[in-house]
Amino acid sequence: MRKFIIISSLFTCLYGKVRVVSSTSDIADIVKVIGGENVTVTSIARGNQDPHYVEILPSYMVKVRKADIYFMVGMELDLWAQQIINGSRNQKVMVVDCSVEINKMEVPTGQIDASMGDIHQFGNPHYWLDPENGKLIAKVVTEKLSNYDPKNADQYKINLYQFEKDLDSAMSKWNNKFSILKDKKIIFYHNSWPYFSKKFGLITVGFLEPKPGITPSPSQLNQVINQIKENEIEVIASESYFSDRAPKFIESKTNVRIVKLAQSVGAIKGANSYINLFETNLLILAEAYGVMYD
């Protein structure tokens, strides 16, 4: 390990910034905050793209070929990343799974098969949608950047401290400003939101998808309409990349309000950073439940 650190230090001295590639825009934004001027970072998946399904392009392999560190989401969300890494033929790139410290939700028990839809055997992989998990991602990023580039380790730690401080301050504000969301019933299009819902007190009644990753059928939409009427659901929330067709059909049959949320940084207007991702989503939801802010 010592030999690796020395070689890495010499490399960064000669070539400047640590070159980072991440699977998603959320991780990329956290890397930017922690790395500051000492890193360059690019994300493979765009913020408005479904991170489960990414077309593998030669240009992605070129990016990874030049990278020093690759940060993965893990938990089988970005299985495509390994194909890109292998195709890059960069044997020196440090591959990091950012999920290692996460307290994972919805870990399935028993046998898993294709009939269950898009089920992940290690649990629900959308863990970045809890800001507390953002801190855990940031700690992993800080550790790996410091290992690779020890001469700037102190600065990475300072940046981590400031990121945690800013996130704590934001969470304190959110807990007060958006307390209206606690115990509000909601239906989501896809099961991307258990970490978010738990953090902010939303009650998930159901999903438009009958199973994760399965397009809703007419019979499923009728079931959702009945759920809305029986449970007095006010809001359906959808990720930015899903079609409006099914939500709009349900809206035409009920009084439910349809909103688009940012599942990742850059998915919709306003969600231009990791912290603003939450600010934007919480504001959209609060207004959907009838609370208007200046």
Q: Quick one: pLDDT at residue 16?
A: 82
- Show the 3-state SS of 94-141: EEEECCCCCCCCCCCCCCCCHHHCCCCCCCCCCHHHCHHHHHHHHHHH
Q: Quick one: pLDDT at residue 158?
A: 98
Q: Quick one: pLDDT at residue 6?
A: 47
Rounded to two decimals, the pTM is 0.91
Token pair in block for residue 128? 């970045």
Residues 6+ apart with CB under 8 A from 132: 199
Token pair in block for residue 247? 């939500």
Q: Quick one: pLDDT at residue 4?
A: 47
Alpha carbon 214 to chain centroid distance? Answer: 20
State the Cα angle at 98 between 92 and 100, rounded to 5°: 110
Q: Quick one: pLDDT at residue 110?
A: 73
Parts of the chain with a pLDDT under 70: 1-15, 112-119, 294
Q: Quick one: pLDDT at residue 58?
A: 96
Q: Quick one: pLDDT at residue 249?
A: 95
Cα 257 from Cα 279, distance rounded (Å): 20
- Show the 3-state SS of 266-291: CCCCCCCCHHHHHHHHHHHHHHHCCC
Q: Quick one: pLDDT at residue 277?
A: 98
